[in-house]
Amino acid sequence: MRRFLDDNFLLKSEIAEELYHDYAKSQPIIDYHNHLVPEQVAQNINFENITQAWLYGDHYKWRAMRANGISEDYITGKANDKDKFQKWAETVPYTMRNPLYHWTHLELQRYFDIHDRLDEKSAETLYKDTSAKLQTPSFSVHGLLEKMHVEVICTTDDPLDNLAFHQQLAGQETTFRMLPAFRPDKAMDTDDLVALNSYITQLEEITNQTINTFDDYLAALKNRHDYFAQQGCRISDHGLEYLCAEDYTAKEISIIFTKIRSGQELSPIDHAKFKSAMLVYFAEWDHEKGWIQQYHLGPIRNNNTRLLTSLGPDTGFDSIGDFSQARALSKFLNRLDTENKLAKTILYNVNPSHNEVFATMAGNFNDGSIAGKVQFGSAWWFMDQKEGMIRQLNTLSNIGLLSRFIGMLTDSRSFLSFPRHEYFRRIVCDLFAEDIIHGELPHDIPWIGKIIQDICYHNAKQYFGF
């Protein structure tokens, strides 16, 4: 019987151990999509305690605590940080077979060299020990990133962001770089016209441009796109239920924009056409600058309106959606490809029943110009766990080229989430090893080791040009 979370965790054979320890383990990390707070990075803060570093903003843990019958007072409420940690510790033993159980103990080991299990009895000691370390210089935000050999982090930023903290960090000597990613979803969200009009007003102020027409709006957004490029941005991102790919004319979009500015109700086709047009313009700008565009598709957000009202969005009330994806994906990508304006593209799927749809769609638009131009992205959100990763890796292996895959990302708000890269790497090594053991791949460790290193690091470095 193996010891829990030992050096060969998830590695079920000597070949898997060799692949991981000799080829994957030491590779640097390029985390090309996350939700880290740029201010905390630029100011190299120290968290006051483990609760602030671990539980603030982590809706994965919040969902588990609610499922375990923990009062909201100890999740997002007014309880003090120590008591919140205590309630999380009481929940951890009940997360067995949930990825949180692995992540929790991996993070305790990798950052704090703590090999004890977290539970109700160990909570007080672990809270004291981890919080004390977090207040030392080597456990500042920069220290935490350095411990995991992080080379690049790409945050997720609204076009209205002035990127001051990215600029601040750029002037410092660090072992890593922080780059912005352009996420303009609020600029095309016609579902809340009050919020959209407020957004347009803020855009006017930031760009010092009057926005009366749709052309004015495009010019102002293009101004921000250009500004992001000047600050080193080379990635865009969208988080959507599905892509909109309706046909439209310039006149129709101008009329719809006038309706938006006057607060008139939009028809369903108005919503679809406006979003379709915006997605095309953003994609064309990305291609023009040689950026990589990311599309995170499939979630249904804010399902619990009662708790959304009291707690706000991104607090743990989202789930997998069952939206139709294939037709719009095909039409959208084909339009850009036909006009030779399709940038490097990453497609992320949150519904595992659509894995083959996304993998085959990516293959339609790989044109030989570069390796892996259109990527079936890593297992995302609810699929970001062992079984979900294996499904995504196997689908990509069966339908595309796993050897050209750009690998893992954290998609996290926590500076303690980087062992997820290790988790992914162990799984990849074990998959290759199983095939070698069963004679489905040759026992060519140098070549397969190279492929694993590419998946873990080199493919992303080359793809993004970091």
pLDDT digits over 181-191, tens only?
Answer: 999 999 999 99
Residue type, 329: L
Residue in 215, 258, 213 with CA at minimum distance from that of residue 223: 215
**Cα-Cα-Cα-Cα dihedral of 422, 64, 87, 76, to 10°?**
100
Per the CB < 8 A criterion, the answer to whether 230 and 261 are in contact is: no
Task: Please give the pLDDT value at position 416.
Answer: 98
Give 252-296 pLDDT, tens digit per residue: 999 999 999 999 999 999 999 999 999 999 999 999 999 999 999
* 357 pLDDT above the threshold of 90: yes
pLDDT at position 251: 98
Distance CA 419, CA 425 (A): 10
- Give 453's Cβ-side CA count (13 Å radius): 12
What tokens does 343 get? 């940038």
pTM for this entry:
0.97
Q: Would the pLDDT of 99 be above 90?
A: yes
CATH class of 14-44+149-464: alpha beta
The residue among 233, 286, 213, 198 whose CA lies nearest residue 32 is 233
**Residue-wise pLDDT tens digits, 392-423:** 999 999 999 999 999 999 999 999 999 999 99
Q: Residue 214 corresponds to which amino acid? A: F
Q: What does residue 404 show for φ and ψ, rounded to 5 degrees?
A: -105, 10
Confidence of residue 1 (pLDDT cuts 50, 70, 90): confident
Band (308; pLDDT cuts 50, 70, 90): confident
The mean of the pLDDT values for the chain is 97
pLDDT at 156 over 90: yes
Q: What is the pLDDT of residue 44?
A: 98
Q: How confident is the model at residue 61 (pLDDT cuts 50, 70, 90)?
A: very high
Q: What is the pLDDT of residue 22?
A: 98
- Whether the pLDDT of residue 319 is over 90: the answer is yes
Given a cut of 90, whether residue 343 has pLDDT beyond it is yes
- 314: pLDDT strictly greater than 90: no
Domain layout of the chain by residue ranges = 14-44+149-464, 46-139
Over residues 368-380, the mean pLDDT reads: 96
Task: Give me the pLDDT at residue 390, please.
Answer: 98
Give residue 115's pLDDT: 97
Radius of gyration over alpha carbons of the chain, in Å? 23
The fold of 46-139 is uronate isomerase, domain 2, chain A (1.10.2020)
Q: How far is CA 315 from CA 157, 158, 245, 348, in A?
A: 19, 19, 30, 21
Report the share of the chain in percent with pLDDT over 70: 100
Identify the bridge partners of residue 347 per DSSP, sorted by sequence position.
295, 376
